[in-house]
Amino acid sequence: MGIFKFIFTLMLATFLTGNLNASDKKVITWKLAQTWGTGMPIFGEAVTNMAERVKKMSNGRLIIKIDSKNKHKAPFGIFDFVKSGRYQMGHSASYYWKGKDMKTMFFTTVPFGMIATEQYAWFYYGGGMELSKEVYGKHGLMSFPGGNTGNQMGGWFKKEMNTVEDFKGLKMRIPGFAGEVLSKLGASVVNIAPGELYTALDRGTIDALEWVGPALDLKMGFHKIAPYYYTGWHEPATELQFLINEKAFNKLPADLQEIVKEAMKSSAYDMLSQSINDNAVSLANIKKDYPNVQIKTFSKDIMTRINAETDTLLNEMSAKDPMAKKIIDHQRAYLKMVRQWTNISDFAYLKSY
Query: What integer pLDDT is reported at residue 7 of this predicted model?
Result: 35
Cβ(240)–Cβ(146) below 8 Å: yes
CATH number at residue 73: 3.40.190.170
For 254, the domain range is: 26-147+238-277
pTM of model > 0.85: yes
Same domain, 68 and 92: yes
Separation of alpha carbons 350 and 115, rounded Å: 15
19 falls within a domain:
no
Cβ(286)–Cβ(156) below 8 Å: no
Q: In the beta sheet, which residues pair with residue 148?
A: 239
61 falls within a domain:
yes
Same domain, 68 and 169: no
Query: What integer pLDDT is reported at residue 332 of this predicted model?
Result: 98
Separation of alpha carbons 231 and 154, rounded Å: 5
284 falls within a domain:
no
Distances 32 to 100, 256, 269, 278, 295 between C-alpha atoms, Å: 20, 16, 19, 26, 37
pLDDT tens for the chain, residues 1 to 353? 444 333 333 343 333 344 445 455 799 999 999 999 999 999 999 999 999 999 999 999 999 999 999 999 999 999 999 999 999 999 999 999 999 999 999 999 999 999 999 999 999 999 999 999 999 999 999 999 999 999 999 999 999 999 999 999 999 999 999 999 999 999 999 989 888 999 999 999 999 999 999 999 999 999 999 999 999 999 999 999 999 999 999 999 999 999 999 999 999 999 999 999 999 999 999 999 999 999 999 999 999 999 999 999 999 999 999 999 999 999 999 999 999 999 999 999 999 99
Same domain, 164 and 309: yes
Give the end of a domain, one of 253, 277, 301: 277
- For the chain, the domain total comes to 2
Question: What is the DSSP annotation of 9-30?
Answer: HHHHHIIIIITS-HHHHS-EEE
Condensed to tens digits (0 to 9), the pLDDT of residues 173-182 reads: 999 999 999 9
Cβ(78)–Cβ(91) below 8 Å: yes
Condensed to tens digits (0 to 9), the pLDDT of residues 153-199 reads: 999 999 999 999 999 999 999 999 999 999 999 999 998 988 899 99
Same domain, 263 and 309: no
Same domain, 255 and 212: no
The torsion defined by the Cα of 340, 345, 346 and 348, in degrees rounded to 10, comes to 90
Same domain, 143 and 162: no
Condensed to tens digits (0 to 9), the pLDDT of residues 12-63 reads: 333 334 444 545 579 999 999 999 999 999 999 999 999 999 999 999 999 9
Cβ(239)–Cβ(107) below 8 Å: yes
Cβ(125)–Cβ(224) below 8 Å: no
Query: What integer pLDDT is reported at residue 179 of this predicted model?
Result: 94
Cβ(185)–Cβ(309) below 8 Å: yes
Same domain, 84 and 227: no
Query: What integer pLDDT is reported at residue 24 of this predicted model?
Result: 59
Which is nearest to 247 in space by CA: 106, 82, 75? 82
Separation of alpha carbons 277 and 56, rounded Å: 26
Query: What integer pLDDT is reported at residue 193 of this predicted model?
Result: 86
Quick one: which H or E segment has residue 200? helix 197-203
Cβ(32)–Cβ(65) below 8 Å: yes
Separation of alpha carbons 129 and 199, rounded Å: 37
Same domain, 60 and 201: no
